């Protein structure tokens, strides 16, 4: 459609998939892409999840967080994806939907980091991510985020027409 964001830049977006060996879910090549969705009179942008999440045990629910950073390594926002469904060991967890983004979001977006935040096992036990370890790992690639900056936040809404 001829839509180009940052067309004079050679920067390629990147993502980091963070896995904890104790986590009951394994993320494979997981991150966020920006997508332009044309509509009849005006289009819109979205951030959409990509990659695979695979259950290493039978689970009842999972919460995956995608943290979006700008070109300077500063956190823009967190995108949460929860699936409440029974998934057997080895099963694929579906990535559905996406999150609203405006043109400024998309033009500043450079890096995403994905991690499993919480998992409910079949016996009701809840596994939780070590946010301190995640923040430390991201600092190694010049990404600035605190433990509290890794929490889910309310979704950004498109402007009302």
Condensed to tens digits (0 to 9), the pLDDT of residues 59-69 reads: 999 999 999 99
Distance CA 111, CA 71 (A): 7
User: Where is 53: in which H helix or E strand?
Assistant: strand 44-55
Residue 120 corresponds to which tokens in the numbers above?
């409910």
pLDDT value at position 13? 83
pLDDT in tens, 108-131: 999 999 999 999 999 999 999 999
Token pair 């060996």: residue: 21
Q: Which residues contact 139 (CB under 8 A, 6 or more apart)?
A: 145
Residue 151 corresponds to which tokens in the numbers above?
């929490």
Least confident stretch, 49-63, 67-81, 83-97, 133-147: 133-147
- The answer to whether 114 and 25 are in contact (CB under 8 A) is no
pLDDT value at position 42? 59
Which domains does the chain show, CATH number per domain? 14-143 (2.60.40)
Q: What is this structure's pTM?
A: 0.85
Distance CA 128, CA 118 (A): 5
pLDDT in tens, 32-51: 998 888 775 556 889 999 99
Q: pLDDT class for 146, splitting at 50, 70, 90?
A: low
Say whether 47 sits in a helix, a strand or coil: strand
pLDDT value at position 102? 87
CA 141, 92, 114: angle at the middle one, nearest 5?
15
Asked if residue 1 has pLDDT above 70, the reply is no
pLDDT value at position 17? 95
Residues 73-84: what's their mean pLDDT? Answer: 91
What number of CA atoms fall less than 13 Å from residue 50's CA on the CB side? 14
Distance CA 21, CA 70 (A): 28
Distance CA 62, CA 161 (A): 34
Count of other CB atoms within 10 angstroms of residue 116? 23
For the chain, what's the residue count? 161
């Amino acid at each position: 459609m001829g839509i180009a964001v940052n067309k004079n830049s050679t920067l390629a977006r990147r993502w980091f998939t963070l896995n904890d060996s104790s986590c009951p879910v394994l993320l494979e090549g997981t991150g966020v892409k920006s997508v332009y969705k044309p509509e009849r009179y005006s289009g819109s942008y979205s951030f959409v999840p990509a990659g695979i999440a695979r259950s290493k045990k039978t689970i009842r629910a999972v919460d995956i967080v995608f943290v979006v950073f700008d070109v300077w390594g500063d956190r823009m926002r967190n995108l949460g994806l929860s699936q409440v469904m029974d998934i057997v060991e080895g099963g694929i967890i579906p990535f559905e939907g996406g999150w609203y983004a405006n043109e400024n979001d998309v033009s500043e977006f450079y890096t995403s980091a994905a991690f499993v935040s919480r998992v409910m096992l079949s016996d009701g036990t809840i596994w939780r991510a070590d946010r301190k370890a995640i923040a430390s790992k991201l600092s190694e690639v010049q990404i600035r985020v605190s433990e509290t900056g890794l929490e889910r936040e309310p979704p950004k809404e498109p402007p009302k027409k």
